[in-house]
A and B are shown apart, each in its own frame.
Chain A
């Protein structure tokens, strides 16, 4: 009897773990990442001749729950058409039983790695604003991300900002709509889409998220009480991460106040929407007052004066010249 070497066994295991894309339009190029639920491959779509990212379940013999979760993620992404959310092109199940979906291949850097570079504060805050816009869009469509953190944010080479990894997203039982009142999620999901029509898939007490970025109610596993404000806490933690760069030793008080308000322990004390949080950051960038930081008259002047220093200097020059001329005339 011939025994297989350890090396041969390892190669056989690796080959077994590889997804079988024979007979599909996709040709695997390389593995570009892996997460708790699946592996992401760079692949080529032979029909359209373009590169795509394929997210595939990690194990061939997983219970149906994980396959359903992956396909649910694909359905959520397909529903959220927004420049800040990666578009899904295709989804299905391979011959070997593994679920997968194909999405746009995003070339860029994770926010946590980008932050190691010395970007200006305004660049970081602009990125943060776009994250807020994307999350606000998802909330408006009744979707909570539940795992917002810098590694899940991609920044493209042309400044595009994408919120990734919606694998643990939650469909809310209602959506915030400017045109109508609360809407039942079932009315949003088509009848043929059982994945979306079953919003509560996570058991009460299960902890989903990343320590340091998840809200206290999320860390307690209080799944039922999660709402938009849980994501807002995570956004506040991302803002704090962006402000904690060593290049920015002195974080301005209004920005620190914005992060504090977003990360308030009590959800009632947080911003009511991701848009409101993004708007406060926009106000800061425009030199306007922010809602999280009440100002007295001295602080208002301190914020106003640097932006109008040329005008102030001109008026002071005029006053000095006038005073000198008056004194000169009275000699």
Chain B
């Protein structure tokens, strides 16, 4: 699967899952839908960015680092908007980015077509 599409789908799925885990926190359960939508959008954005990076740079360590960085940055923005919860938002957010970074490099295909034969 194309690395960008792979990143988008994986980021979206992990974003949904990440958002759904807020159900276990009674204090924010009432905002579950908003959290899931926000988390999904965050995951999709991270996945697309990481996918594009993976298409340009074919390196597992760099892909992991970039994924971690993007995940942390987006999570930081969300936490900043929330005015708190830095650790509960940034730690899983960074891990999601790291997973997407690893997976796009490892399992995504470059999406380049084979050269045509004369």
Report the bound CA distance from A310 to B87 in whole Å: 24
In contact, B102 and A325 (Cβ under 8 angstroms): no
Report the bound CA distance from A322 to B103 in whole Å: 20
Tell me what chain A mostly uses at the interface: helix, strand, loop, or mixed.
helix
Chain A proximity mask over B38-77: 1 for CB below 8 Å, otherwise 0:
0000000000000000000000000000000000000000
In contact, A330 and B25 (Cβ under 8 angstroms): yes
The contact of A314 among B21, B25, B102, by CB within 8 Å, is: B102
In contact, B99 and A314 (Cβ under 8 angstroms): yes
Identify the closest chain A residue to B24 (Cβ). Answer: A326
In contact, B88 and A318 (Cβ under 8 angstroms): no
In contact, A330 and B92 (Cβ under 8 angstroms): no
Report the bound CA distance from A325 to B90 in whole Å: 11
Q: How far is the CB of A306 from chain B (nearest CB, A)?
A: 14
Which residues of chain B are within 8 angstroms of A330 by Cβ–Cβ distance? 24-26
In contact, A314 and B98 (Cβ under 8 angstroms): yes
Which residues of chain A are within 8 angstroms of B18 by Cβ–Cβ distance? 322
Q: How far is the CB of A173 from chain B (nearest CB, A)?
A: 35
In contact, A329 and B27 (Cβ under 8 angstroms): yes
Report the bound CA distance from A220 to B90 in whole Å: 74
Given A311-B106, A330-B25, A330-B26; A325-B92 close (CB under 8 Å): yes
Tell me what chain B mostly uses at the interface: helix, strand, loop, or mixed.
helix
Does A317 touch B at the CB level, under 8 Å?
yes
Report the bound CA distance from A315 to B21 in whole Å: 14
Which residues of chain A are within 8 angstroms of B98 by Cβ–Cβ distance? 314
Which residues of chain B are within 8 angstroms of A328 by Cβ–Cβ distance? 88
Interface size range of chain A in the complex: 10 to 19
The contact of A315 among B25, B27, B99, by CB within 8 Å, is: B99
In contact, B102 and A310 (Cβ under 8 angstroms): yes
Q: How far is the CB of B3 from chain A (nearest CB, A)?
A: 15
Identify the closest chain B residue to A328 (Cβ). Answer: B88
In contact, A326 and B102 (Cβ under 8 angstroms): no
Q: How far is the CB of A19 from chain B (nearest CB, A)?
A: 47
Report the bound CA distance from A315 to B96 in whole Å: 9
Does A321 touch B at the CB level, under 8 Å?
yes
Which residues of chain A are within 8 angstroms of B106 by Cβ–Cβ distance? 310-311
Interface size range of chain B in the complex: 10 to 19
B-contacting residues, A274-331, CB 8 Å: 310-311, 314-315, 317-318, 321-322, 325-326, 328-330
Among A315, A317, A321, A329: residue with most chain B CB under 10 A: A329
Given A310-B102, A311-B102; A318-B21 close (CB under 8 Å): no
Report the bound CA distance from A325 to B87 in whole Å: 9
Q: How far is the CB of A14 from chain B (nearest CB, A)?
A: 56
Identify the closest chain A residue to B14 (Cβ). Answer: A318
In contact, B102 and A318 (Cβ under 8 angstroms): no
Q: How far is the CB of B16 from chain A (nearest CB, A)?
A: 13
Report the bound CA distance from A321 to B94 in whole Å: 11
In contact, A329 and B88 (Cβ under 8 angstroms): yes
Q: How far is the CB of B96 from chain A (nearest CB, A)?
A: 7
In contact, A322 and B26 (Cβ under 8 angstroms): no
Identify the closest chain A residue to B107 (Cβ). Answer: A311
Identify the closest chain A residue to B99 (Cβ). Answer: A314
In contact, A318 and B96 (Cβ under 8 angstroms): yes
Q: How far is the CB of B14 from chain A (nearest CB, A)?
A: 8
Given A314-B95, A329-B27; A322-B102 close (CB under 8 Å): no
Report the bound CA distance from A317 to B21 in whole Å: 15
Report the bound CA distance from A330 to B25 in whole Å: 7
- Give me the 5 closest cross-chain CB pairs, A-B, nearest first: A326-B24, A318-B95, A329-B25, A314-B99, A325-B88
**8 A-B contacts, Cβ less than 8 Å apart?**
A310-B102, A314-B95, A314-B99, A318-B92, A325-B87, A325-B92, A326-B24, A330-B25
A sample of 18 more A-B contacts (CB under 8 A), given A326-B21, A330-B24, is A310-B106, A311-B106, A314-B95, A314-B99, A315-B99, A317-B95, A318-B96, A318-B99, A321-B91, A321-B95, A322-B18, A322-B21, A325-B88, A329-B24, A329-B27, A329-B88, A330-B25, A330-B26
- Measured CB to CB, the residues of A under 8 A from B are 310-311, 314-315, 317-318, 321-322, 325-326, 328-330
